Structure 1
């Protein structure tokens, strides 16, 4: 599949449509509230 659609996938995945510089997605199941707050504080200015 990759070889057949490589130009399209590269543009989508690395051309700004999928990855963003300061975007975080994750679950908070094993992460404390303090850890999440620290992450937000560190990345707000980005």
Structure 2
């Protein structure tokens, strides 16, 4: 990961632990099943 690396979306039931090598551009925090279903419908 880096400034010119891939865009990362963290999907989980807890917030991401941001580190030097893992820094998501966006987060979806909550129930995984419902979150993924809504993302699939939106995409």
Decide: shared fold, TM above 0.5: no
* Larger RCO (CA under 8 A, 6+ residues apart): 2
**Structure with the bigger percentage of helix:** 1
Q: TM-score, normalized by length of structure 2?
A: 0.30
**Structure with the bigger percentage of strand:** 2
Instruction: Compare CA radii of gyration and give the structure with the larger one.
Output: 1
